[in-house]
Chains A and B, each alone.
Chain A
């Protein structure tokens, strides 16, 4: 019986050590090799959105409710990323507010999109690129 006891403890320790090291090494290698190394030299998506919309925020009056216009179907991920980047400006999925920002995905049709927004009574305030623009509702 006495001999059995330490053996059991050795087995348990071996199981825990093996499982723990195995799980951690695999996860660590996965995070570093599969996730981190391929991302070197690329900025993460959220920081990119921060930069995309950072310029527009400086052009908006404080505490403005801002509309959001895109040419794709509702994509919560992209909309939430834009909301995060636009904070503290509140962003609503509509073109009713006085100011509207865009997030166009089809760059080739950018001119058509601009025309569409202008036809809805907006003037272009700032064009960051063919996707990101700021419009203001025309006052008559």
Chain B
């Protein structure tokens, strides 16, 4: 257990201290930094694990010693370097719009958190190995790497028998790395990783909206995310879609922090680049997300701040992104077999592109499955919009634009993948689309609550109007 804790918490500590050093604006926001650390810690260590596996072979004791030492040295350096940085004083907390309803929401959050944990445990108990994709793709490869260190790469030459071997190794690498720390294959490790990712998403949603808007808005956003039980249910299946949703949310949060930064600190963009790269290291869909993020950010920043600001930000983004891209390129060139969706294209593609019925079917599923995933909680969005209205605050305009553009582009990209799929289109949509929605759900909720007027803002507005009318 100590080694499992070491494998998880040593990288998180190092990344936490690095973030504290790089992003001094929110040094006091422990939950926000901690939740941001999760994706970076798991993602970066899966990269080092993969590099070690290729350069030095089986990641046994020397690997554990080298990695732990490196992480502790990193933690010491950033901890030491940041020791003199004075805490920026906590801004005067905006008084709660309504204390009673806030505590009702807190209690609701507690209740849903407990029921979610029960749900997760129940699911783990009857599906300890996860659902289909977990044991055909992610845990399968983790097993293969861990059980067959010496010849793990042979797996990739049997791509006709094993599904989706072109998928990158972040999740499988994270699982195999944890097992290598433990020295044995422990069944609950993939489930713990899934649990950490899903609750880190909720924590990031809550802490980021609290930091960027108000405490009340933060709890509203967190409870709304928890109101979609499909999200947690999926996470207990041990799939990579919930971690992908977490990474997309992290990128939006970092863009928001970048947009309100007034000191020219571009570390936010660099970290956003790294996390976007980790998305592509997690799943192939991450490559599409990477492209869409770059395009969406360019459109949003150029239209609001101009070219010069964009180029400065973009160069930082690329600095964070490129090292991860190098790992992905190496994996794709050296190991990954051809992707089934890409290799299935050819003369028939044009026929698929001109078949109107494919567009109709995909559009129908897009709408139907959105409500199938979100269900009753879908009414929260129009209700909140009607009751609170849009925020008059302009400082998140670029972030909201980025998120809206990115979500629209990603959904369009997935749409075109379905149109051109060489597989049975209906079967392809039915077996994947609901999961793909989870990539965008947390990010979408984040952008919604960022654009929404907070109860405090609404209260202030209401009081101003009232005061004016008396005068």
Contact = CB atoms under 8 A, between A and B. Distances in A.
A24 B148 contact: no
Given A11-B387, A16-B380, A80 B122 contact: no
Interface residues of B, number: 64
Contacts of B455: 9, 12
A63 B469 CA distance: 83
B75 to A, nearest CB: 34
B387 A9 contact: yes
Interface string A1-20: 11011101111110111011
Contact of A27 (B119, B150, B383): B119
Interface stretch (B24-32, B48-56, B81-89, B156-164): B156-164
B458 to A, nearest CB: 6
A9 B384 CA distance: 9
A24 B462 contact: no
Given A1-B466, A12-B387, A21-B111, A44 B126 contact: yes
B184 to A, nearest CB: 14
B376 interface: yes
Interface string B170-196: 000000000000000000000000000
B115 A28 contact: yes
Contacts of B228: 23
B101 A77 contact: no
A83 B148 CA distance: 14
Contact of B118 (A8, A10, A28): A28
Nearest to B226: A20
A90 B156 CA distance: 10
Interface residues of A, number: 45
Contact of B462 (A5, A16, A80, A88): A5
A23 B108 contact: no
B238 to A, nearest CB: 11
Contacts of B108: 16-17, 20-21
A90 B154 contact: yes
Interface centre among B119, B128, B154, B455 (most CB of A within 10 A): B119
A83 B135 CA distance: 9
A80 B163 contact: yes
Contacts of B376: 19, 22-23
B112 A15 contact: no
Contacts of B116: 24, 28
Interface in B108-153: 108, 111-112, 115-116, 118-119, 122-123, 125-129, 132, 135-136, 139-140, 143-144, 147-148, 150-152
Given A16-B384, A32-B122, A46-B128, 16 more contacts: A9-B387, A9-B455, A13-B101, A13-B105, A20-B224, A20-B226, A20-B227, A23-B376, A24-B227, A28-B116, A31-B118, A35-B126, A36-B125, A47-B129, A84-B139, A88-B148
11 contacts: A9-B97, A12-B220, A16-B220, A24-B226, A31-B122, A44-B129, A80-B140, A81-B135, A84-B135, A87-B140, A91-B161
The 4 closest A-B pairs by CB, nearest first: A88-B148, A27-B229, A88-B147, A20-B227
Interface of A: 1-2, 4-6, 8-13, 15-17, 19-28, 31-32, 35-36, 39, 44, 46-47, 63, 76-77, 80-81, 83-84, 87-88, 90-93
